[in-house]
A and B are shown apart, each in its own frame.
Chain A
Amino acid sequence: MSEMWLNMGPQHPMTHGLWNLRVKIDGEMILDCDPEMGYLHRGIEKISEDRHYNEVITLMDRCCYVAGLSWEHLYILSAEQALHLSPPERGDYIRTMCDEFQRIGSHLMWYAAFVQDIGLMTPFLYGMRDRDLILDLFQSYTGARMTYEYLRVGGVRNDLPPGFTDQARGVLDWLDKKFVDYDRLCLGSTIFRQRCDGLGVLSARDCVATGVTGPMLRSAGLKRDLRKDRPYSVYSQLDFDVAVADGADVTARYLVRMEEMRQSVRILRQVLDWLDRHPGPVLADRLPRWLGAPYAPQGREGYLLKRNYPKGLGFSSVEEPHGEAQAYVVNEGGEHPYRVKFRSPVFANLSAARHYLVGYHVADIPPIMGSVDVCVGEVDR
């Protein structure tokens, strides 16, 4: 047979976003591949240099459209370090709650899209239905279902509405029951097992060499989770396990993500209990007004601060639903960050595509790429 390059994308049911997977094939065999990115590049790092610190949060929601709150948290942690600020404890707990609900929401979106790729329609509808419950919760306290703009330098924008924790517990109870159904629909399905077992294998050694993180890394048996290894926010005070599997294939990634959702439910129950017991402020007081904060006290003091504000560097790293995201913020004493740099986990996971695609068949591409959980918004930024 003759070799040829095949473009899968930028418009293809497999891509789930705007990118192009170029594969070199011989008949049905994949010989080489070259992901082509940049179709969604909006220059978020450049635009950030022209915004107030709090205005960058708007862009973070657009970084990953299924995990906006996790990206807001990432940026906020690093901006706070650069600006020498810290949030009140209740604000920190609310951020953790946002993170974990976002993790379940993102994984449900992944679940829905992934199983649909391999031809199962019922789980897709189940996943989308249950994700809506989480979006309803987000809507009740952020006012938005997708682009939240909720976290602030120094805390969060507003407190939770009355009755929120009870509503949230209801959602968790429902999800706990539904996770059993999910597993039965997928792991009990012969089609699912035949299309996923033993595909897209990426060993732990290759994962480390190519910078792969998140569920893909944990599916190879490496127990690495920043929430445990380098606890940020309030994770050191919460009790949970790190989900790992040892197959390193598509099924193993499925198992890791499902277990992560169960662990997130466990974390959320603890956080909700804490929030019930500890009312208090959610935003630090005495924030400098030049942050662009309409809620900060007015007066000359704020303006003086800007001129004398100490410079700083901020570096943060969070376990985002897709893997390890990092931010590097340089504060040179102005109203705007001097430089903002983000590390997207999917960026690294995709750059390793050659390792987990070559040697498999063309028909294996949708399940393998589905198990990577590509979010183009954060790759291209």
Chain B
Amino acid sequence: MQPEELAKALAPVLGERLIGVETFVGTAGRVRFRPEAALDLFRFVRDDLGFRHLSMIGGIDWTGHREVFYVVWSDDAHQYAILSADLPADQPHIESATPVWESANWHERETWELVDIGFDHHPDLRHLLLPDGYAFHPLLRSFKLHEPEELEVKQRSV
């Protein structure tokens, strides 16, 4: 599948909410969409385009905004596609992909705690890699490696 075909397939479903499909070497393309289209896009990509496998979710802290990206794989086309949305830097959040891909669960927990991107309606948004109650988001650019931060760790409740 080529980026043009991907754009043609997605345009009727997303309409205005599709920003564009860019070429990304080694994948079917990089789909840029508005965050409110999230669930519609995920369902369409999984059911109609065959990208049944969600490989990973990651976040990037850019100057002025944040990006969340999803890497999906199609067994029929043997191709990856990258779905990416820009979120505002102030309280960035997007709909959780867990109803569409169960595998999103842990990836979203990780992205939430490391890059501070909220996932609405996530079933179990807890810390995964960091201690409970950890107040920082280490993968933000504002978190500097060279200045040790004072941290307070709450006891884990069992």
Chain A interfacial positions (CB closer than 8 Å to B): 5, 37-38, 41, 43, 45-47, 50, 81, 208-211, 222, 224, 229-230, 313, 315-317, 324, 326, 328, 330, 338-339, 341, 343, 347-348, 351-352, 380-381
Contact = CB atoms under 8 A, between A and B. Distances in A.
Given A211-B101, A339-B60, 11 more contacts: A37-B128, A38-B128, A46-B139, A50-B145, A209-B103, A210-B103, A224-B75, A230-B80, A315-B80, A338-B60, A341-B58
A46 B105 contact: no
Nearest to A78: B26
30 contacts: A37-B128, A37-B129, A38-B130, A38-B131, A46-B139, A46-B143, A50-B145, A209-B102, A211-B53, A211-B54, A211-B55, A211-B101, A211-B103, A229-B78, A230-B78, A313-B24, A315-B71, A324-B55, A326-B55, A326-B56, A326-B71, A328-B69, A339-B60, A341-B56, A343-B56, A347-B106, A348-B103, A348-B106, A351-B106, A381-B129
Contacts of B34: none
Contacts of B61: 339
B133 interface: no
B111 to A, nearest CB: 9
Contact of A208 (B53, B56, B79): B53
Chain A contact residues: helix, strand, loop or mixed: mixed
Given A81-B25, A339-B60, A41 B129 contact: yes
Nearest to B56: A343
B25 A210 contact: no
A16 B140 CA distance: 32
Contacts of A5: 158
A224 B101 CA distance: 19
Given A41-B130, A324-B55, A328-B58, A210 B138 contact: no
B18 to A, nearest CB: 20
Contacts of B131: 38
A76 to B, nearest CB: 14
B127 interface: yes
Given A37-B129, A315-B71, A326-B56, A209 B101 contact: yes
A331 to B, nearest CB: 12
Nearest to A41: B129
Nearest to B27: A315
B52 to A, nearest CB: 5
Size category of the binding interface on chain B: 35 or more
Nearest to A324: B55
Contacts of B129: 37-38, 41, 380-381
Given A38-B127, A326-B71, A315 B26 contact: yes
Contact of B82 (A43, A45, A315, A381): A315
**Interface pairs A-B: 7 shortest CB-CB:** A211-B103, A343-B56, A341-B58, A38-B129, A351-B106, A229-B78, A41-B129
Interface in B107-158: 114, 127-131, 138-139, 143, 145, 158
A378 to B, nearest CB: 12
A47 B105 contact: no
A46 B55 contact: no
Nearest to B106: A351
Contacts of B106: 347-348, 351
A23 B106 CA distance: 18
Nearest to B140: A46
Contacts of B27: 315
B69 A208 contact: no
Given A211-B54, A317-B80, A351 B143 contact: no
